[in-house]
Chains A and B, each alone.
Chain A
Amino acid sequence: MSLVTEASTQPAAAFRVTRSRRNVAWTGIAALIVVVVFALAPFEVYSGTTAILVQAFIVLTLASMWNLLAGYAGLVSVGQQGFVGLGAYFVLILGLHGLSPFDALPVAAIGCGVAALPLWWLVSRLRSGYFAIATWVLAATIMLFIERFSSIGGGSGMPLPGFTGYSSTLLTAYTYWAGLAVTVLALVAIYLLLRSKLGLVLTAIRDDEVAARSSGARVGLARMLVFVVAGVGCGAAGAVLAISQLQVQPSADFSVTWTAEMAFATIIGGLGTIEGPIIGTVVYMVLQQTLASYNAWYLIILGLVAILIALFARRGLWGLVDERLNLRLFPVGYWLRTANADRRRGWRRA
């Protein structure tokens, strides 16, 4: 299953090609420290804080997946809430068969990836806006279908079974670690994916689909893989959601607000970069926490900010940082350096 039909050209001898200007090891070490600090959080902070962080992990995972879809593969899905809900319900169904929620989480995520294949077959014929609403209809259809079964709670949902063995402190900590693990795995997976040959194809699609297609990139296959990966990621986030809420509820788990949140967080942070969704999630959480007492206002402001950024700062907040500092926390592209050029000015982004 080759993604590129022709091998990429070798760099000429006069140039040196690297992944990054700065040493990747430093960002790697920094990332590791951040993960360790986050992993220790349940020992340091109150459960209210970890609950907020779990919410942030869910949004970050979703935003990163949506970024992969819309930012790289050009697939604007408005139906990712379908996978969020499926992930949550898979945890419930496995729980009803005796699996503990934390064991059910990875199974649910993989189940969502498997479910993504037939769904992709349904929607792959449509493009751009029609793809967007078709995925939305699919998510609504899945929800209506699930609501038919009263054994899994019907239209009103039901509490998750299998939490009886956990003390409240332990449950909070496990939920937090599950959320952290899902987010870290999602980011690492996306990073490795974008550095692979598939990443090259996706970056080519992002920059110019027609050119990518005519250079032999198998756009359809790459898109299918991304749709499946995003299904797994959104399903895992949905499973974490169900565990953190201790229940499933169809209208909440399948709410289109999930897609709005993941899309807006990505747009605000910067579409088509790994760093963008991270920044966007921080902005989202700050807005949500400060405006939480004003009901729907955070969604109104989020929508307005997303519109303004989509129109006037197309590369998002990370784009503004990048323009000034040429910074890459996650180097997935290539840098080209001429052999005799000035060390500071000779770098060109490839």
Chain B
Amino acid sequence: MAWVNAIIQGVLTGGLYALFACGLSLMFGVMKVVNLAHGDLAVVAGYIAIGIITVTHVPALWSLLIVVPVMAVLGYALQRTLIQSALDRGVLTTLIVTLGLSMVIENGLLQFFTANTRGICAGCALVQDSFSIGSQIQVAWLLVVIFAVAVVVLLGLQYFLSMSKYGRLIRAVADDKEAAQLAGADYRHVFGIAAALALATVALGGVGYGMYSTLDPTAGTDTILLFAFAAVVIGGLGSLWGTLLGGIVLGVAQQIGAQINISDELLAGFIVFLAVLVVRPQGLTSRRAQS
């Protein structure tokens, strides 16, 4: 029964990892940017939410109404300024600039908000309530909600990319930005939209992570970025639903690892990641759902 429990918990945490991974995957798929500051931006979103909740005393989820748009605008602005100018200078520069951004954000948070860990809405009913299946399995409502949000976000992204006008533009620009430019699409603006979408999903992930676990300035690089990346590679590069599959595989591996030995949770996840790298470097899904 403990194993069934581990698998259920793992699948549900996979939803949280997918929320982080789909933004990373989107930015790589559209503008070939590997954003090394992805995890730190999630932590920033979490800290903004904490700030809003502390100041206005609104219920935790209401803070998303502000955090998500703020992060989306930040994403657009970052893409149009820093990341675009780095992109114009080559892949190496985008890596250095996003690594620099990651260090600046992480140490900035450390400087201004100390190394203390913070949770979002630790006492809320949503964070604490759970329901039981049978006598031994306790499932937290929060994880179910996060998983549902992840599925809705992925469905929404899928629909947006395949049906809407901007989705069509994004796919066109991802395929060939010069050709799209010739056809009248301003690829820089479209890149900005894609970055805004990516950071909106990151905002959801960051707040979700803050409720599920705790946030501290180093969480972005120590865990979130590496988990997001592992989920992307396990699921398959450039595949949107692959990020959910990758997240689930990673989450289940971690929970089973924790079941064997409580301190092996992270190691088990990374070993599965390395095994996928050896056996199936293109990831578990090989279709290119995104473009």
> Which A residues are closer than 8 A to B by beta carbons?
70, 74, 76, 78, 122-123, 125-126, 128-130, 132-134, 136-138, 140-141, 144-145, 147-148, 155, 256, 260, 263-264, 267, 271, 295-297, 299-300, 302-304, 306-307, 310-311, 314
The verdict on A130 contacting B226 (CB below 8 Å), with A78-B36, A296-B110 known, is no
Contact of B107 among A125, A144, A300, A310 (CB under 8 A): A300
Residue of A nearest to B223 (CB): A140
Q: Bound complex: CA of A221 vs CA of B34, how far in Å?
A: 25
- Could you pull out 16 A-B pairs where Cβ atoms are within 8 angstroms? A125-B281, A130-B237, A132-B36, A134-B233, A136-B226, A137-B229, A140-B270, A260-B103, A297-B111, A300-B104, A300-B108, A300-B111, A302-B103, A307-B101, A311-B85, A311-B86
Contact of B34 among A128, A138, A304, A310 (CB under 8 A): A128
Contact in complex: B233, A310 (CB < 8 Å) = no
CB distance from B83 to the nearest CB of A (A): 11
Q: Bound complex: CA of A144 vs CA of B100, how far in Å?
A: 25
Task: Identify which of B34, B86, B99, B278 gathers the most chain A CB atoms within 10 Å of its CB.
Answer: B99
By a CB distance below 8 angstroms, the chain A residues around B273 are 137
Q: Size of chain B's interface in residues, with CB distance under 8 A?
A: 44
Interface residues in B75-92 (C-beta closer than 8 Å to A): 82, 85-86, 89, 91-92
CB distance from A157 to the nearest CB of B (A): 16
Main secondary structure of the interface of B (DSSP, over half): helix
Residue of B nearest to A264 (CB): B100
Q: Closest 7 interchain pairs by CB?
A: A129-B34, A296-B107, A303-B103, A307-B100, A303-B104, A144-B267, A303-B100
Q: Bound complex: CA of A126 vs CA of B282, how far in Å?
A: 10
Residue of B nearest to A312 (CB): B85
By a CB distance below 8 angstroms, the chain A residues around B266 are 140, 144
CB distance from B238 to the nearest CB of A (A): 11
By a CB distance below 8 angstroms, the chain B residues around A306 are 96, 100
CB distance from B216 to the nearest CB of A (A): 13
Q: Bound complex: CA of A333 vs CA of B148, how far in Å?
A: 58
Residue of A nearest to B90 (CB): A314
By a CB distance below 8 angstroms, the chain A residues around B233 are 126, 130, 134
Asked if B28 lies at the interface with its beta carbon under 8 angstroms from chain A, I say: yes
Contact in complex: A141, B229 (CB < 8 Å) = no
Contact in complex: A300, B34 (CB < 8 Å) = no
Asked if B95 lies at the interface with its beta carbon under 8 angstroms from chain A, I say: yes
Asked if B263 lies at the interface with its beta carbon under 8 angstroms from chain A, I say: yes
Task: Identify which of B103, B226, B266, B271 gathers the most chain A CB atoms within 10 Å of its CB.
Answer: B103
By a CB distance below 8 angstroms, the chain B residues around A130 are 34, 229, 233, 237
Contact in complex: A311, B89 (CB < 8 Å) = yes
Contact of B101 among A76, A256, A299, A303 (CB under 8 A): A303
Asked if B255 lies at the interface with its beta carbon under 8 angstroms from chain A, I say: no
Q: Bound complex: CA of A4 vs CA of B89, how far in Å?
A: 29
Q: Bound complex: CA of A76 vs CA of B60, how far in Å?
A: 39
Contact of B277 among A134, A147, A271, A310 (CB under 8 A): A134
Asked if B225 lies at the interface with its beta carbon under 8 angstroms from chain A, I say: yes
CB distance from A125 to the nearest CB of B (A): 5
Residue of B nearest to A127 (CB): B91
Q: Bound complex: CA of A144 vs CA of B230, how far in Å?
A: 16
CB distance from B243 to the nearest CB of A (A): 14
CB distance from A85 to the nearest CB of B (A): 15
- Contacts A78-B36, A137-B229, A307-B82 given; 13 further ones with Cβ under 8 A? A128-B34, A129-B33, A129-B91, A132-B95, A133-B226, A140-B222, A299-B107, A300-B107, A302-B103, A303-B107, A304-B100, A307-B104, A310-B96
CB distance from A48 to the nearest CB of B (A): 25
By a CB distance below 8 angstroms, the chain B residues around A122 are 274, 277-278
